[in-house]
Every structure is written in C-alpha cells, then in structure tokens.
Structure 1
Amino acid sequence: MVAWSDLTNDVLEHITSFLSFPDRYCFGAVCRNWRSVSKSKRYPPTPQLPWLVVEEEKETRKRKFYSLSDAKHYSIEIPELHGRYICGSSHGWLFAVDIKITGILINPFTREYFELPPFPSYCKDADVDDTLIEKVPSDYMGGPRNYTFEEMQIKIVSKAILSHDPKERSDFTVMIMFGEMNTPAFWRPGDLCWTVVDGQKGCLYDIIYFKGNFYALSPVNVLYLVDFEPEPKLREVGPRIEVEGFAREQYLIDFNGNLLLTERFCERVEKNKITTVGFNVIEPNLEENILYEWYDIDGYALFVGRNSSIYVNASHFPKCKKNGIYFTHITGSLSACDDLGIYDMTDKTISKFYSVEVFPTPVGSPVWLTPNPW
C-alpha cells in the first residue's frame, strides 16, 4: 500500500479536481506540500456557489462564512478583518473599513491585502467633536443628526468594486461610492490618494466594470460612463430608465455579456425599517437607446448586494433556484429588517435561503463572495 505522503504531485492535483471548495481548502491545510498542490491551476476547482460573509464571532473574533452549496457555516481566523465592516466584494476580494475609517482590500483565503489611502472628504460641513461623534446630514431624517464612528464606518463607503483580480493583473482599479451622495472615486496601486470623479447629478445607486469601462447608475434614471480622459468625469449614456414604485436599490449586472439593471422594490414595515417585496430586471440597450424587460434569466441565478455582480447557471447546482435573485440587506443601514431572501422571477414569490435571523451590525452585514484562493 502506498502512503499518502508518497503520492506524486500529479496524482494529488488530479484528486483535487474532484473536491469542493471547502474540501480543497481543508486538503491544503494538511501540510505545506498539499497546500501548494491545492493552489494548482492545472485542474480547476469544481464550480461553486457564492459564499455569504455573515458576521464576526464575538468570542473567537473569527469571521463566519455560510456556504450555499452544502448549507454549512465555516469560521476562519482572519485577523486583518477584526472589527472591520465589509462594504464590497469583487473577484473574491473584500473591501473592509475599520472604526478609524481606514480601508483595506483583502483576499480572505490567501490573506493577501492592500492598505488603502485615507478616504476623500465626504462632507464639507463635517465636524468631529471631543466625544468622537460625527455630524453629517442624515440619509433618512432629512436633517443633521449625530453618528457614532461605528455607524459612520458603514456610511463612509457604500460600495467598492474592482476592475480586475489583483492576483491576475497588477494594473487594477478600485472604484468606490463614498459619502452621503455616493460620489465615485478611484484608486490604483501606486496612487497616494483617491481621485474623485466629477459630473454626477444626484446620489448614485451602483457601479459596475463592464467590457472595459466603469458605469454608474443614478436614481434619477441616468446611466453614466466613467470617462477618465482628460479629467475623470461622468458622462451620460443610454436611455433614461423609468422606475415605477419604491425602488429602494438598483443593481447593475454583467450577465453573459449583457448589461442588466435589477430594480429592488421595498415596503416600509416600521418607521425606519423596510423589507423587500420584489424585483424587476431590465436591459438598457446602449446602442439602440431603448429598454427591454426580462421576465426570466434563462435558468440562471443572480446574487445582489454590496458585491460586484455575480451570476451562476443554476442547473449546475441542485440547491440553487433557477430564475432566482438572491439578495442581502439594504446597503448602509443598521435599521433594516432581517431581509435576506430569494426572489423567484417565475412565480414572483420570496423565500428564505438562510434559516438564521440576521440583522445588520457594525461588523456583520452579510455580503456575497466568490472564493478565490487559487
């Protein structure tokens, strides 16, 4: 009988091709050689559903993840994320902000990370007093109020995305929406500060990197292209998008090479608490300057929230709902309800994919993540 330790790398690499991501991750924890084999790209890992970054455990301070594929939780020690609020996920990397309002970009499974420069000024009238309370205009009350730094860390950046995987390309770009108006700004490796993009009209809803360009969406139904030359600015493109009802959030999706807009409709259940009641999917055709409404998504599933757009072929995953839109909490709110669910575009119903009640906290608002340890 041959000992496991004597198996050649070729054989071990072939074995890893049959392993799910959690099993492959455990495989790499056996020894240094197996860890090296587990990262081999010769045999790609089996397809996987996104993970949900759930919360930080109070006692261990480990970050808890939930795998849709096997309906299990995994707690992983990631010291760099201690006390940080996650406000973006892109290409398997997380964008996190701490109580000092500083940010990092980190791959939670390889522990590679980039320290990011101080954020741009998010409010010209902001004033920090001796009790470390921040005075800024309220998103909900229509006037000034006091925010603690714990609350501010979820409001300073509403979303962050990447143009490319930093492991694949060193010339990637981080684009954020920051401050009360979700103003766009970008950073590239080597930059000493963020560069603010001018030209927005009203608060922005979402940003996306699509076919070599960044696009941004405004609630006043304007789709922008981020034009970097000669000075970074937003340039209006495409048709105006008419929205009926209370579309609390909208998401831009790169779906098989099509740019889609997903509208999220909500109802207010208490004074400052809202819950999701449905979605619409629209394709803005930039060339013909018209809109197309989609009634299904060809058996795929979408995952929306603070993450860059994610879609999977649901037929490859027995536990994944076809034509389903998996959603997390409303962005940047500690007053949201337990609002995680799946919207079925076929019968227009909403169901749960997660049995545990989850409410937004300064370090625990769930975010979708596609693991990228290889």
Structure 2
Amino acid sequence: MREREMDGGGGGEHRWRDWAGLPGELLASIRERLLVDDFVRFAAVCTGWRHSGPAKPAPQLPWLMVPPHSSGITCRFISPSDGKIYFVAVPELRGTRCVGSCHGWVATVSRASLEMSLVNPLTRARIPLPSLTTAPEITAVCEEGDDRVTQYRFRATGGISNLFRVEAAHGTIEKVVMSCNPTHAACKIAAGFDYFFPPASVAVGGEKWTVTNRACLMRDIVYHEGEGVFYGVDFTNRVLRWGVDDVGVLEYCRCLDFPGSGDKRHWKRHLVVHRPSGDLLLVFFDLASARSSQEVAPGRILKEMGAVRIFGYKLGGSAGSWQPLERLGGCSVFLGKNMSICLSAQEVPELRTDCVFFIDQSYTHVGRKPQRTHGSWVYDLKEGVWEPYFYRAWRNSHEAPLWFTPNIS
C-alpha cells in the first residue's frame, strides 16, 4: 500500500510513502496492543499488515453477544471496553439456539431438530457436530404411518424416559463447553441437560455423542485445563467430574451443603476455575429481589438485591473442603448459562477486579404467560453492592446475551 503526498517544498512534485514497507517490529508492536475491532481494521489494510505480529488480538473483557431471535440472522455485539455496539449478520445462526460460548465459538442446536454445530460469528466459520440422536439414549419418535419426527425420547440411567416435542427438545440443553479452540483436533465437547439426564460428550470430528453413566440435573459445567477433565455441579450441589477420554465414567467428588437459608428455588450456582491458582470456585446467587429491579437508572448502585456466596476448593492436594472466599485475588469472574470464565488483571489490565459479572437468563410465569426476567449485573465483592451492566443496550431484545470472547484466528 502506497500513499501519494505533495512535496513540502512547493514545487508541486509528488512522492510516495510506502506504508506496507514499515518495519515488521513496529507493526508487531502496534498489532499486539489492539483490541479485536481495531485488530480487524488493521489486518484489512494490506497483506503485509495482515501477516505481521501475533495472530490473535490482545486479551480483553468479554463482549456481550445478543443472538438473533428465532429466524433472524443479525447478532448484536456490545464491547465493554468502549461501549460500542456492533451489528453483524450471521446466517449460520438462523433457526438455532445458542447453548454455549468458548474461545470465540458459539455452540448451537437447531430449534427444529437436535442437529448441533459450532459457529464463529465473526469469521462465519462453521464446524458441524453429530446430532444428539447419535447417542443411543436419545431417539426420534415418529407418528404411526408417518416418517415425520414429532418427538424425541430421552432415556436416562435407571429406566427413566422423557418425551419432548420437536420444537421444545432444544430447550433440554443447559450448557455446552469446549475443552479448547475447536479448530484443534484434540478438542472435546461436553453438554449438560436441564433435567434428569446424564451429561454427554463428543470429540470434534467424532461420529456420535457418548452419554455418561450417571443421570443428574446439571446446573453448570466447566473445563479444567490443568487437569484435563470436565467438572459439573447438579441442583443438589454435588460436584461431578469426567475425563475427556474416559467420557463414559462420571464420578461424584464432594457434596457441599447449601449455604444460607431462605427460598432455595431462587438460588443459582456456577462453577469456575480460578485462572492463576487452578482452584475450583463455586458461586451461589440469590436473585429473588434482583429480578424485580430491572428498570434502574444507568450507573445507579443497588444494595440488598441479593446474596452472593463464593467457595473455593484447592485441587490436587490432600483431601480438603470448600472454604468461603471474600476476595478473588486480583481476578474477576464472568458467569452465565453459556460460559463461566475467570480473568486476572495481569491478563486484562482494564479489568475491574474482585467482581462477579453475571447474566441471569430465566423466565417466571405470571398466570399462564411466561415473563422474561433476564438481567446483566456486576457485583462488587469489596463494596457488597450490585450495579446494572450494559442492561439498557440489550433490554428490548427477545434473546438474553451471552458472554463472548472474540477470536478471529
């Protein structure tokens, strides 16, 4: 790329400035400091700039991604770093429901079947996954004398069987987690379900899902990179684990008594791996009052909205116990149905530390009509207060946002 400029001597002559010929060290130094939006613009200038420096943008705060509604294709991305909103058309998400987000990829399931895939909404790359019906425990049911699938049968351990209509079956998936970037051949996928059914796993490029040996009502799943295993927590607060290779064996690790008192139906629980230490964190929320306080002024600090309890468990040593934590050691966690991640200020200098960023994705029923009760919040552990987190940027959306870590590599 060359740019022509006038000679400053007034002679009317032109000279060319070769921007593509800038030193590679200078380009690399600039590129490694860019966030993903500027990273994309930088790479679009010319071939030389595109291939200079690191292949990934600098670590940054997770974005909020609002998926398209039903048959739509336009995603909304909210960048917390600068508050900008980006609208991106992703036809690959049409007719799907997003059930997980890891490493810049979104796990989707068809609303009309149990076909699954992984999609990078920024590059529109797509990796197909086997249908959930490849697991022997999940079968399609047709009307007598008709080949059209009308229901899906889920058979859990112990002979428990449940039928779901085709249009409702996708709602049984609670969360999908990836062990690493799915462009790597070693990537394993785990799925937890929102009712009494065992978690299932599959390898990228595999032919079928494998269901584990124990049925449970899974509430959250996380992958522990240091140990190479998936951890899950069920609705009774039992912690479970299974390996990426020995996917058929699910074992209970340790029970955790429910902290506090009150109406337990309002409590949510999330697992997350503490990034610097590798400890396992279990975070509890009581959002009974938070859900009734969505309409708040921007920046207003809210108190007494609900309780947050965090417990830590040190893995790899002798038998220990869950210990209550009041701080996160210079880190913060981002929690939601689609992703649980811990970031440190060393990775992301702009991070607001010792905070819990949380997306609540739930419905309550008023009479016979479901009422949306989604919300996005940040809880400051030091101050003990809640604040809305970019809620007004997506509150009119039919879909609740996901945490999304941009990746264009």
Tell me the TM-score normalised to structure 1 length.
0.81
Give the match's secondary structure for 2:258.
Answer: coil
Q: Cα offset for 1:344? A: 1.6
Instruction: Give the letter aligned to residue 14 of structure 1.
Output: S
Q: Give the letter aligned to residue 30 of structure 1.
A: V
- Local SS of the residue matching 2:39: helix
Q: Do 2:72 and 2:94's aligned partners in 1 also have CA atoms closer than 8 Å? A: no
2:402 corresponds to which residue?
A: 367
- Structure 1 gap segments, 5+ residues each: 138-143
Greater RCO (CA < 8 Å, at least 6 residues apart): 1
1:312 corresponds to which letter in structure 2? L
Aligned positions, number? 357
Q: Please report how far the alpha carbon of residue 58 of structure 1 lies from its aligned counterpart in structure 2 after TM superposition.
A: 9.5
Specify the code of the residue in structure 2 equivalent to 1:347.
Answer: E
Question: Aligned-pair RMSD on alpha carbons?
Answer: 3.7
Match of 1:50 among 54, 58, 62: 62
The residue that corresponds to 1:119 in the other structure is 132
Partner of 2:311: 282
Larger CA deviation: 205-214 vs 6-15: 6-15
1:299 to 2:299 alignment: no
Pick closer, same or farther for the CA change 1:65–1:231 going to 2, 3 Å.
closer
| Bigger mean CA deviation after superposition, 302-311 or 230-239 | 230-239
CA gap 1:166/1:331 in 2 versus in 1, 3 angstroms = farther
Distance 1:270 1:222, change over 3 A: closer
What CA distance in whole angstroms lies between the structure 1 residues aligned with 2:192 and 2:204?
A: 18
Q: 1:339 aligns with which of 350, 370, 375?
A: 375
Distance 2:69 2:244 in 1: 41
Instruction: Tell me how far apart the structure 1 counterparts of residues 109 and 24 of structure 2 sit (CA, whole Å).
Output: 40
In structure 2, what is the Cα distance between the partners aligned to 1:157 and 1:116?
A: 15
Name the SS for the 1:243 alignment partner.
coil
| Identity between Structure 1 and Structure 2 (%) | 24
Give structure 2 stretches of 5+ with no counterpart: 1-15, 155-161, 295-304, 365-369
Match among 91, 104, 111 for residue 103 of structure 2: 91
Superposed, which structure 2 residues align to 1:236-251 within 5 Å? Answer: 236-245=252-261, 246=264, 248-251=267-270
Aligned in 2, Cα 1:108/1:224: closer, same or farther, shift over 3 Å? Answer: same
User: Quick check: 2:291–2:375 contact (8 Å CA) kept in 1?
Assistant: no
* 1:15 matched to 2:30: yes
Shift of 1:327: 0.9
Structure 2 SS opposite 1:350: strand
Q: Deviations over 1:196-241 (max 9, x none)?
A: 01123x4111112112111111221211121578771211113434
Question: Residue 357 of structure 1: CA displacement?
Answer: 4.8
Distance 2:27 2:70 in 1: 37
User: Which moves more between the two structures, 342-351 or 316-325?
Assistant: 316-325
Report the CA distance between 1:336 and its aligned residue.
3.5
Alignment of 1:210-221 (within 5 A): 210=224, 211-221=227-237
CA distance change for structure 1 residues 146 and 197 in 2, over 3 Å: closer, same or farther? closer
Amino acid in the other structure paired with 2:82: D
Shift of 1:146: 8.4
The residue number in structure 2 matching 1:264 is 285
Q: What is the CA–CA distance in structure 1 between the aligned matches of 2:70 and 2:139, rounded to whole Å?
A: 35
**Partner residue in 1 for 2:273:** 254
What are the superposed Cα offsets for residues 115-174 of structure 1, whole Å, 9 maximum, x if unpaired?
A: 11111479979867799876999xxxxxx998672x543x1321001112233x311100
Contact (CA 8 Å) 1:278, 1:343: kept in 2 or not? no
Q: Is residue 103 of structure 1 aligned with residue 116 of structure 2?
A: yes
